[in-house]
Amino acid sequence: MSQVIKTTEDIAGCTDNKIILSDPESFSMKNSEIIIHGENNILFCEEGVSMENCRVIFNANDSVVYFSKNKHIYRVDVTVNNGCVCYFGKEGYYNGAVHIICSEGKSVFIGDEALVSFGVWIRTADPHLVYSAETHDRINPSKSVYIGDHVWIGQNALILKGSRIHSGSILGGGAVLAGKSIPSNTSYAGNPAKEVANNLFWADPCVHKWTPKQTKYHKHFKGKEPALFREDADTVPFATVDSELSARGTADEKLEYLRSLSSDYGKNRFALNGRTPLPAGSDMKKRIKKAIKSIVK
């Protein structure tokens, strides 16, 4: 059975799936639709979620789309297939609709304070099958895409399966990133995307309407704290997140883990400073279990 939800009033008629609003009074949807072909799917919204010109399609079963609280408007075009997850972190700014297709049980995860320009595409699959002529084994498995906190993605960027962009980094306009890992505070650009600068950070102010006086004023950083990220005891490797999501078979189990990740793990949770990421030690597992227990209570 297919369902199409275009207004907040339609949500009450959702059957065999869940649309969970943490704060229904602060939720809004304008010129948007949620299309569901399947069952046991969950769309979860924290407080303060506003959707405008959005399309969210659940194309099978047991998938999760998670919208974190946001003072900005969400503009997204998302399709999740069987057993997939699409997660949007807190306070992300989406200049135009970001197009996301999650396939073959894989995830797209975008951290907090993302800045995403026009015409961006993210995909976890090729999606057709490619085999070795020698062994007849498949050589193009689907892979999840992970994007850390405070990441800036330029106009018309294409982010393909297996890509990892760690916190504080920049992916330039028109870049094609295919399965590469970008360390924190690094800029990649081009097709294929390559490192063009490192040891940098970026800030939110937009220069479009600036006067020469404003340009001169901002010649040196005027913010309170540079957005620099470095691995520490709170760092969560993307491989750990991917493993944890893959191990959870139902949408409810996946949501429980996502809610634990949405808790405050510190600034450097998705940092990578060019060396081997910290392993997922027992301390981190204890923190996750503690967060999950607090949610359940």
Report pLDDT for 278.
40
**To which residue do tokens 């600034």 refer?**
267
Q: Chain-wide mean pLDDT for the chain? A: 92
Confidence of residue 248 (pLDDT cuts 50, 70, 90): very high
Report pLDDT for 297.
46
- Mean pLDDT (whole number) for 260-273: 87
State yes or no: pLDDT of 294 exceeds 90: no
Residue 105, helix vs strand vs coil: coil
Confidence of residue 263 (pLDDT cuts 50, 70, 90): confident
Residue 209, helix vs strand vs coil: coil
Answer yes or no: are the C-beta atoms of 107 and 84 closer than 8 Å. yes
State yes or no: pLDDT of 295 exceeds 50: no
- Mean pLDDT (whole number) for 101-118: 97
CATH number of 275's domain: 2.160.10.10
Give residue-wise pLDDT tens across range 4-34.
999 999 999 899 999 999 999 999 999 999 9
State yes or no: pLDDT of 285 exceeds 60: no
Number of domains in the chain: 1
Pairing of strands 181-182, 164-165: parallel
Rg (CA), the chain: 19
State yes or no: pLDDT of 264 exceeds 90: no
Answer yes or no: are the C-beta atoms of 99 and 80 closer than 8 Å. no
Report pLDDT for 2.
87
Please give the residue range of the domain that contains residue 88.
2-296
**To which residue do tokens 């793990």 refer?**
265
51: Cβ contacts below 8 Å, ≥ 6 apart: 28, 29, 30, 32, 67, 73, 74, 76
Report pLDDT for 275.
43
Q: Which of 145-159, 184-198, 270-284 has the lowest mean pLDDT?
A: 270-284
Report pLDDT for 82.
96
Q: Give percent of the chain with pLDDT exceeding 90.
A: 86
